[in-house]
Amino acid sequence: MRFSKLASNDVGWMSAADGENSCVISTRIRLARNLKKYPFPAVCDENTLRKIRREIFAACKEGNILKNAEMIKLEECDSVDRQLLLERHHISHEHAHSSDYGGLVLGDREMIGIMINEEDHLRIQYISGGLSLLEAWDIISKLDDELSKSLDFAYSDKWGYLTACPTNTGTGIRASCQLHLPALGMTGGIKGTMENINKMGMVVRGLYGEGTKVMGNMVQISNQVTLGITEERIIDNLKRLVTQVIDREKRARETVIQSESETLKDVVYRSWGLLTNAYKMSFEEALDLLSNIRFGIYSGIMKEINMGFLNNLMIKIQPAHLQESRGREMKPEKRDIVRADLIRDFLKGKI
Amino acid sequence: MRFSKLASNDVGWMSAADGENSCVISTRIRLARNLKKYPFPAVCDENTLRKIRREIFAACKEGNILKNAEMIKLEECDSVDRQLLLERHHISHEHAHSSDYGGLVLGDREMIGIMINEEDHLRIQYISGGLSLLEAWDIISKLDDELSKSLDFAYSDKWGYLTACPTNTGTGIRASCQLHLPALGMTGGIKGTMENINKMGMVVRGLYGEGTKVMGNMVQISNQVTLGITEERIIDNLKRLVTQVIDREKRARETVIQSESETLKDVVYRSWGLLTNAYKMSFEEALDLLSNIRFGIYSGIMKEINMGFLNNLMIKIQPAHLQESRGREMKPEKRDIVRADLIRDFLKGKI
């Protein structure tokens, strides 16, 4: 384990998600890029993978945005380290579990970075708090321009950027927003909302990417199409859709706050009672309870803690974060005990 | 409503159930008696019922044990009053809902009393805390002797005391113990224990008598047979059976405390967290949670409150107690809110 300092850090993009944007926890854009002169990672030999990684590290050091970034070789990270990077949304599930010469460049406040030798040579990514698609696009395209000065990206005039999987070809962009929809969760509207989004050519899924469950009423919405459409148009479409979902969630919140205020208060404080008293707690249960607390803060019922405090707690109770913070691997049963201890300690001063 | 003072009183027999006897919440003995010169209540006219009640009130005043007791005419009690008396185990469900000329004599600290014109003319009853069958039998047989000086009980040399229902004929005695079996509840042993008891010719049922559900892991065990056997023998049989169940529960408690201590602590404090934070709570949920707290006190995990405090809280959160204490009838939804408020207020000083 090498990231115990990282595990105890607050996450830059998390503490920004207060106030107006409380429905949108974070915004993320990633660009898939490949180097012209090498095959895609899946068919590279080890030497080539190492060479690719070296070149990308070097290109980062030459530029401005990532010159002081941390350069991480994945084979030097144990399974808990990788899980930690996954939980902080810096690497994907596949990247965490590959044994090849993957890499990670991690920039300022962990908001900007590059995943190296995952499915593509580069996955350039930027994550920020709240709904901030335009700022994110501005920053990530600057980094893209900077890198393209020293790296020769695989690009076809007909197809655009070439990628290992054809679903990314063209712009290579995936833009996503992580939303918190507690009122749609309470009133049962979340299922219909998710079905509608899928029909509109966007993708909706759980907190940790493809195939993961909806926990704590949190979903990720992202674009499906990357080809035959500009990046600006993709981002604009996503923004309009997310705004619609926010409106729907906000209407549901008004309904719950106005006509179910006693029930809401009960749900919020029961969650608080369990979080401040339990001696065993799974990540999933904690996330569901914190989802209720988050709604409680939004509605003004819960005054004991604020959104930033809650967001950071949500990061720290994840399995690998717990293990890094204690400096050892733990079985799930032990983690549930340590998680409950951490939550009680965190909230104790707030009672 | 006339019993608001009663509703706020601590219950004499409840506060005694601390320490060693924590598995046995209360012990109760009742004797069914009828007056020789009148038909059973079900076939009496109103005048006769009133006459019977007058004679019994008079007999009580002549004796020592009940001369200062409260004499209550049921037709003067509204539905909330009757429900309150039911919740304090002074009258039966049937008695609470009859519109006839029923009565109740209620003696010192609500531990001794007589239900008048229920199924029989007299149901003499004594209730005390913990496992105290012998003391209960001593006191109730003294009252029986005292009353028989001024009342002529229906008695046959062949059958013993005559009663409206043949299942009570003979001794007219029903002795029962209310047990709290949280560890058998947690380990799943409660079902088998209840089946065994039924096979042994004893009756086991929920907290409020026949046909009621097991709530909060509390059961009542009582004798079935009243005929062809002495009172002493009935009491001795019950005592031996209850002692066996206590042993079984205590062994289950040891197992849970030793090998499931983390789980127990979690269950106890989750219950505490809900009780001290919820804004709506049904009686059934409160009873289940308080059952866990009770086990927590027994096992030394929960130090915030003691058994007597808990027992009194259990009485006060019952539907009619809540309504008497607030001086008005309330719908169940409103009661759940008021109950949660009362529990939080009660426990607030203990956090």
Taking only Cα atoms into account, the Rg of chain A, rounded to an integer number of angstroms, comes to 21
> Which carries the bigger pLDDT value, residue A83 or residue A340?
A340
Same domain, A56 and A112: yes
Size of interface A-B (CB pairs under 8 A): 50
Q: Is residue B10's pLDDT more than 60?
A: yes
User: What residues of chain B lie within 8 A of the CB of A279, using their CB?
Assistant: 262, 265-266, 269
Coil, strand or helix: which one is B349? coil
Closest C-alpha to A26, from A108, A100, A127: A127
Q: Are residues A303 and A183 in the same domain?
A: no
Q: Which of B260, B262, B351 is the best mutation test for A, with the most CBs of A within 10 A?
A: B262
| B179 and B188 Cβ atoms separated by less than 8 Å | no
Same domain, A208 and A69: yes
Helix (H, G, I), strand (E, B) or coil at A200: coil
Judged by a CB distance cut-off of 8 A, whether residue A274 touches chain B is: yes
**Euclidean distance between the first and the last CA atom of chain B, given in angstroms as a whole number:** 34
Q: Which of B231, B222, B244, B124 is nearest to B177 (CA)?
A: B222
B279 to A272: CB separation less than 8 angstroms, yes or no: no
Residue B270 and residue A277: Cβ atoms within 8 Å? yes
Average pLDDT value over all residues in chain B = 89
Which of A277, A293, A343, A347 is the mutation pick for testing B, counting most B CBs within 10 A? Answer: A277
Residue of A nearest to B279 (CA): A266
pLDDT given at position B319: 86
Rounded Cα distance, A143 and A60, in Å: 9
For residues B135 and B198, membership in a common domain is answered with yes
ipTM of the complex as predicted: 0.80
Cβ(A116)–Cβ(A56) below 8 Å: yes
pLDDT range class, residue A13, cuts 50, 70, 90: low
Residue A280 contacts B, CB cutoff 8 Å: yes
Q: How far apart are CA B163 and CA B234, in angstroms?
A: 18
Residue B151 in 3-state DSSP? coil
Is the minimum CB–CB distance between B263 and chain A shorter than 8 Å? yes
- The three-point CA angle B136-B139-B145 to 5° equals 135
Same domain, A185 and A277: no
Domain stop point among A221, A237, A253? A253
Cβ contact, residue pair A262, B337, below 8 Å: yes
Residue A184 and residue A293 share a domain: no
Tell me if chain A has a CB within 8 Å of the CB of B266. Answer: yes
The pTM score is: 0.82
Q: Which amino acid is at B231?
A: E
**A19 Cβ neighbours under 8 A, 6+ residues apart:** A307
User: With an 8 Å Cβ cutoff, are A270 and B274 in contact?
Assistant: yes
Percent of chain B with pLDDT over 90: 61
Count of domains in chain B? 2
Same domain, A193 and A285: no
Please provide the average confidence, as pLDDT, over all residues in chain A.
Answer: 89
How distant is the Cα of A332 from the closest Cα of chain B, in angstroms? 14
B54 CB-near residues (< 8 Å, 6+ apart): none
pLDDT tens for A34-50 read 999 999 999 999 999 99
Give the pLDDT band of residue A350 (cuts 50, 70, 90). Answer: low
How far A169 CA lies from chain B's nearest CA (Å)? 51
Confidence at A105, pLDDT banded by 50, 70, 90: very high
Chain B contact for A266 (CB, 8 A cutoff): yes
Tell whether A25 and A144 lie within a shared domain.
yes
Whole-angstrom Cα distance, residue A102 to residue A304?
A: 43
Which of A232, A253, A274 corresponds to the end of one domain? A253
Helix A231-259 and helix A261-275, axial crossing angle in degrees, nearest 10: 100
Q: Which residue in chain A is spatially nearest to B272 when comparing CA positions? A: A277
Q: Does B277 touch chain A (CB under 8 A)?
A: yes
Claim to verify: residue A222 and residue A143 sit in the same structural domain? yes
Based on the domain organization, do B187 and B213 belong to the same domain?
Answer: yes
Model confidence at B315, in pLDDT bands (50, 70, 90)?
Answer: confident
Interface with chain A: mutation pick from B269, B272, B275, B341, highest number of A CBs within 10 Å: B269
pLDDT by residue (tens digit) across B90-140?
Answer: 898 888 888 679 999 999 888 999 999 999 999 999 998 889 999 999 999
The CATH number of the domain holding residue A129 is 3.30.590.10
- Whether residue A220 is found in the same domain as residue A325: no
Residue-number span of the structural domain to which B271 is assigned:
260-348
Which SS3 state, helix, strand or coil, does residue B224 take?
coil
Angle, alpha carbons A242-A245-A247 (nearest 5°): 110
Taking the CB of residue B34, how many other CB atoms lie within 10 A of it?
Answer: 25
State pLDDT tens for residues A265-318: 999 999 999 999 999 999 999 999 999 999 999 899 998 888 888 888 888 898
A253, A281, A299 - which closes a domain? A253
Q: Are residues B66 and B118 in the same domain?
A: yes
Interface mutation target, options A268, A269, A271, chain B, most CBs of B under 10 Å: A269
